[in-house]
Structure 1
Amino acid sequence: MLPGRVVFLLGVLALCKGVQEADPESCEHFTDLNLSHCFMGTRLYVRLLLYTRSNLHCGRELHHHHPSSQPLFNVSRPTAFIIHGYRPTGAPPIWIDHMVQMLAAQDDLNIIVVDWNQGAANLNYFTAVTYTREAASNLTSFIITMEDEGAALSSVHLIGVSLGAHLAGFVGANLKGQIGRITGLDPAGPMFTSASPEQRLDPSDAQFVDVLHTDMNSFGLRGTHGHIDFYANGGVDQPGCPQTIFAGKSYFVCDHQRSVLLFLCSLNRTCSLTGYPCASYSAFLQGRCLQCEAFRPTSCPVLGYDVSRWRQTLLELGQTQVFFSTTASLPYSKLSYRVDMVTWNQYLRWGVVFIRLHSGRKFTEARIDHGLLRLEQYTSSRLLAQFDDDLQPVQKVSLRINTGNVIGPRYKFRLLRVRLTPLERPHRPVMCRYDIIVEENTEVSFRPLPCEAAV
């Protein structure tokens, strides 16, 4: 027989539990399933969890047919929907709460998490794909109800991850492209590779569609599918992700999940990821696409919530693809310099260029090996140098040209001009030096000067 005090405490706990369950204002959480559900298969059930600045840590489930019955829902506010993708383990996405917090920091929004885990959690991926159409119909009806209650379709923003990007596209198509914006984070590739625009996310699904690609050679979708498509590191093989299957699950999902991490980082404003319009990532790395004349008087487009600043220009240009490189970890941003060099040497040489920026005892290095640099008499070359660290102030620059020559006398190059232009930091001075002698495979250092002072 239990002591009276223990019985009393158990009774209080049971009473509290009963009150919590009966309380209509209790917090609602994303559906948490496990592998057993996935093995058995789940049938589609869509829940809509509302978050605002007033309840950032406590979701409120919305009534599908009467959203305004929830006092925290305000039809006069813009509304952002977060739509997850395929969930092969049934566990809640670890990034959901982070995205809710970051979106709330951008604007006073209705943030609605579209929880279709029951449907997305199936070991059979094809079943989850089939459910996207049904889930889209469900969400379409809800948005129509929002509109009937006074919300503007132009103020609706759908953010879809992987399979969720196509689900968002289906909702947009159902509403004749009147949705304000769709953001697709690495739209799913399997079963959509050969799909027509009507069968996947495409620019006609919203007034503005922006897409980020990080895994086009595996779980992501190749091609251009928005008014603007961002390609991180060319859209494939993200830095820091495992390259062999021995890494386990991470080998399969790391590149694909990087799209969410990059988007979250952009929302947090800890990284600024500038995209450069170009025909290919290779051409971008070769320094052939480092200007953004079409976007003047503004700058090149920057990934994230504020990319809509470039909306009008992008709508005029048509589908635009932009490229950028990242580091392996936070804050992901690389610091890019356009390097213009004029060489003067008697004989043709080919080489790889290494540039170091020094600040005190610290330095950061860029290896420009996307293609061998052609070094010949009075040749002007434009290179892209990308550094992992942003060191300030730059007190010294080191330059090395590796030609692969390991025997015989070392050849010397004469650089009539070296000019380093910071691309993402236009307020910083352009650095120059003139008339430098460089011996192949040997580092030479110099103190950079503002270009007007170096003449």
Structure 2
Amino acid sequence: MFLWQYLALLPLITVDLCKAQGCAEFTDLNLSHSFIGTSLDVRLLLHTRKNVSCASLLSHTNLTAHAQFNLSRPTTFVIHGYRPTGSPPMWRKNITELLLERDDINLIVVDWNHGAANVNYFKAVENTHRAAENLTAFIQLMTKHGASLSSIHMIGVSLGAHISGFVGANFIGSIGRITALDPAGPQFTGTPPEQRLDSSDAQFVDVLHTDIDALGFREPLGHIDFYANGGTDQPNCPKTVFSGGSYFKCDHQRSVLLYLDSVNRTCASRAFPCSSYKDFLDGKCLSCERFGDAGCPVFGYDVTKWKDVLLKLRQTKTYFTTNGVSPFCMTNYRVDVMIWNEDVRWGYITIKLHGTRKEAVATINHTAAKFTKFKETRLFAHFDKDIGLVKKVSLTFSTGNVFKPKYKLRILRVRLTHMEREERSLCRYDILLKESKEVTFRPVPCEESNF
């Protein structure tokens, strides 16, 4: 056999070897199972750094039968949500690989597809309680063999978030951490804490919301709640029902993709505590003083760096914006504009940052900004990437009024302040912006008197 032929067969050989060694596969069902209805069957698929791609099926009663299951290591449970089509979650392989790359842990993928695959959503909700009892019994067995509840991290997606909460409540909040990725809203909204995920269910509970107007839960549930893009209408997700199934699930599934970026350290999304998304976009919530030298928390896997201060604050609601594709994180600048027009001007600003080989764009158009003579107008700009050193800046002013006369914005000073890096603000003085005409300039470090 030629070498290239052998190499081409390697993936098949690996699969065959995996099957021969008894790799446990995630349950793969289809729509027919969902229509018939499935009875709950919880399978625990163990992955470690020694068997990243080949899971071992754990026994619910005999932990000593699995040499790979080392209870001196931390254990992370990943729990999926409702599976109306019966298919395995598309993200299970990625999350397994990325979590094990980050930490040497026991990673248990909880396969409750038999129980989650059902066209009757109410039956799947009912099964969350039974799945939680199953996991509770397994964790009790772990503790009898020396495992620490503090070393357990549960990552729950949608219904899986509430399963994590039920398990945590059974241990009176002693589990180390629960991460909830867009916790399910239907059948849980308006219920008391004991019937859903709650911040008392673990020592630390962090929650991401991406679909609060449909499949997700709207209100805060954890010690810190992150609302990506306000928790609704994620970028690049379909806006109409004519897009098919993705219209219903895209926003909801985005939660997992955002979390994967954080595990992979692709980039970091700084989140700002605020009472509303509008105030966040208006730049009214840019203070991070309450978090000390660490600054505002970063969404995702590494938010535990802020754990101590977040526990003292008890409940923190934060917002951040994202791109429509990975890398999802954006770069934030505070933009302060002072004009010297005699009359008030209303309009929108588009800003481009030019680096050596890169360009980043931010359009501030969620609402028309009010510009008043000698009064500073604060804007919050979210750029699609971080270009590093800024060489040039381009500004465009528009009013959105097609049939009205074109206006000019005479800027006395514009100041750009990076919200993630400790560096001197950039300024430009005396700029005339003609409506819808881009003006490019080289910024200079702001004068000390302007800080």
TM-score by length of 2: 0.92
Contact persistence 2:338–2:372 (CA under 8 A) = no
1:315 aligns with 2:311: yes
1:196 CA drift (Å): 1.0
Name the aligned partner's letter for residue 47 of structure 1. R
Partner of 1:442: 437
Contact persistence 2:397–2:409 (CA under 8 A) = no
1:334 CA drift (Å): 1.4
1:389 CA drift (Å): 3.0
1:415 CA drift (Å): 2.2
Name the aligned partner's letter for residue 137 of structure 2. S
Partner of 2:153: 157
1:361–1:103 Cα change, 3 Å: closer
Contact persistence 1:68–1:149 (CA under 8 A) = no
Partner of 1:132: 128
**Which whole-Å CA distance do the structure 1 matches of 2:348 and 2:92 have between them?**
43
- Out of 49, 55, 60, which is 2:51 matched to? 55
Partner of 2:171: 175
1:453 CA drift (Å): 8.8
The residue correspondences of 1:371-410 to structure 2 (distance < 5 A) are 371-404=367-400
**Which whole-Å CA distance do the structure 2 matches of 1:79 and 1:57 have between them?**
17
Q: CA offsets, 1:242-287, max 9 Å, x none?
A: 1111111111110100000100111111121111101111111111
Question: Partner of 1:383: helix, strand, or coil?
Answer: strand
Name the aligned partner's letter for residue 434 of structure 1. Y
**Which whole-Å CA distance do the structure 2 matches of 1:411 and 1:247 have between them?**
40
Partner of 2:280: 284
Partner of 1:119: 115
1:432 aligns with 2:427: yes
**Which whole-Å CA distance do the structure 2 matches of 1:362 and 1:28 have between them?**
46
- The more displaced of 323-332 and 337-346 is 337-346
1:405–1:131 Cα change, 3 Å: closer
Name the aligned partner's letter for residue 192 of structure 2. S
Contact persistence 2:73–2:104 (CA under 8 A) = yes
Name the aligned partner's letter for residue 53 of structure 1. R
1:254–1:435 Cα change, 3 Å: same
The residue correspondences of 1:11-410 to structure 2 (distance < 5 A) are 25-359=21-355, 363-404=359-400
Contact persistence 2:18–2:54 (CA under 8 A) = no
1:369 CA drift (Å): 1.6
1:20–1:234 Cα change, 3 Å: closer
1:452 CA drift (Å): 4.6
Any stretches of 5+ residues in structure 2 without a counterpart?
1-15
**Which whole-Å CA distance do the structure 1 matches of 2:208 and 2:404 have between them?**
49
1:138–1:396 Cα change, 3 Å: same
1:351 CA drift (Å): 1.5
- Aligned length in residues: 435
Aligned-residue sequence identity (percent) comes to 56
Any stretches of 5+ residues in structure 1 without a counterpart?
1-16
Q: CA offsets, 1:315-346, max 9 Å, x none?
A: 11121111011111110111211101222221
- The more displaced of 355-364 and 415-424 is 355-364
Question: Partner of 1:397: helix, strand, or coil?
Answer: strand
Partner of 1:7: none
Contact persistence 1:266–1:304 (CA under 8 A) = yes
Question: Partner of 2:251: helix, strand, or coil?
Answer: helix
Question: Partner of 1:297: helix, strand, or coil?
Answer: helix
1:223 CA drift (Å): 0.5
1:428 CA drift (Å): 4.6
Q: CA offsets, 1:210-230, max 9 Å, x none?
A: 000000111111110000000
Question: Partner of 2:293: helix, strand, or coil?
Answer: coil
Higher Cα radius of gyration: 1
**Which whole-Å CA distance do the structure 2 matches of 1:145 and 1:129 have between them?**
25
1:450 CA drift (Å): 2.1
**Which whole-Å CA distance do the structure 2 matches of 1:211 and 1:128 have between them?**
22
1:417 aligns with 2:413: yes
**Which whole-Å CA distance do the structure 2 matches of 1:28 and 1:403 have between them?**
60
Contact persistence 1:86–1:121 (CA under 8 A) = yes
1:359 CA drift (Å): 3.2
1:155–1:400 Cα change, 3 Å: same
Question: Partner of 2:269: helix, strand, or coil?
Answer: coil
Name the aligned partner's letter for residue 218 of structure 2. R
- The more displaced of 431-440 and 143-152 is 431-440
Contact persistence 1:350–1:372 (CA under 8 A) = yes
**Which whole-Å CA distance do the structure 2 matches of 1:408 and 1:170 have between them?**
59
- The more displaced of 197-206 and 367-376 is 367-376
1:68 CA drift (Å): 3.1
**Which whole-Å CA distance do the structure 2 matches of 1:298 and 1:404 have between them?**
40
Question: Partner of 2:376: helix, strand, or coil?
Answer: strand
**Which whole-Å CA distance do the structure 2 matches of 1:286 and 1:404 have between them?**
19
Contact persistence 2:360–2:384 (CA under 8 A) = yes
1:451 aligns with 2:446: yes
**Which whole-Å CA distance do the structure 2 matches of 1:453 and 1:182 have between them?**
45
RMSD: 2.0
- The more displaced of 294-303 and 370-379 is 370-379
Contact persistence 1:433–1:454 (CA under 8 A) = no
**Which whole-Å CA distance do the structure 2 matches of 1:316 and 1:391 have between them?**
36
TM-score by length of 1: 0.91
Contact persistence 1:68–1:74 (CA under 8 A) = no
Contact persistence 1:181–1:209 (CA under 8 A) = yes
- The more displaced of 314-323 and 430-439 is 430-439
1:106 CA drift (Å): 1.5
Q: CA offsets, 1:34-57, max 9 Å, x none?
A: 222111111111111111101101
